[in-house]
Amino acid sequence: MNPRMMVFAIFILFTAGSDLAAQDTAPHSGFWLGGGLGVGLTDEGAGDDAGPAGYLRMGGTPSDRVLLGGEAIGLSRDVGDATVSQANTTFSVLYYPASPGGLFAKAGIGFASAVVSTDVAGGTFTSDESGFGLTFGAGYDVRIGRNLYLTPNLDVLVQTFDEFADSNLFLFTLGIGFH
């Protein structure tokens, strides 16, 4: 399936359950923290365009519908004999349209990084570059404890570099959050 079609299909699944989410969540307040693992895809089409993905995010809550914080999110994949790791580190805003609600949309702005590592003659050659990064996403908090949530996420990372090829990453993760 085309990665863009997968993004659209998962977004539709997230939005279909927003009424259920509003019935089973508590208002957000204070400090929050979340992390998760999953799989990521790229739109480059070079080598294996899929690999393990993950994120870590944390921040504060100015209102029960808005969470502000920082996020590190990325993936690693094999391209021939090299390992390519790509990530965004962003200031992010999570917006919950229903109060309280489980469905959220997310946007972040910050830095992109790409690291290519290749084993050569008993050593490792590494090249890296930093650039501009945007992160867009959606998720759905499913309450599993008083302040504990299981959260499926769908994220799109946009990366722009001077030397490396610009790319878009599509990440599907399942995380645990506390808020």
**What are 95-123's pLDDT values in tens digits?**
999 866 689 999 999 999 999 999 887 78
pLDDT over threshold 70, residue 1: no
Quick check: 168 and 88 in contact, CB under 8 A?
A: no
What's the pLDDT at 30? 86
Quick check: 172 and 157 in contact, CB under 8 A?
A: no
Cα–Cα–Cα angle for 93, 96, 99, nearest 5°?
A: 140
User: Tens digit of pLDDT for each residue in 60-91?
Assistant: 999 889 999 999 999 999 888 889 999 999 99
Domains and their CATH numbers in the chain? 3-178 (2.40.160.20)
pLDDT over threshold 90, residue 139: yes
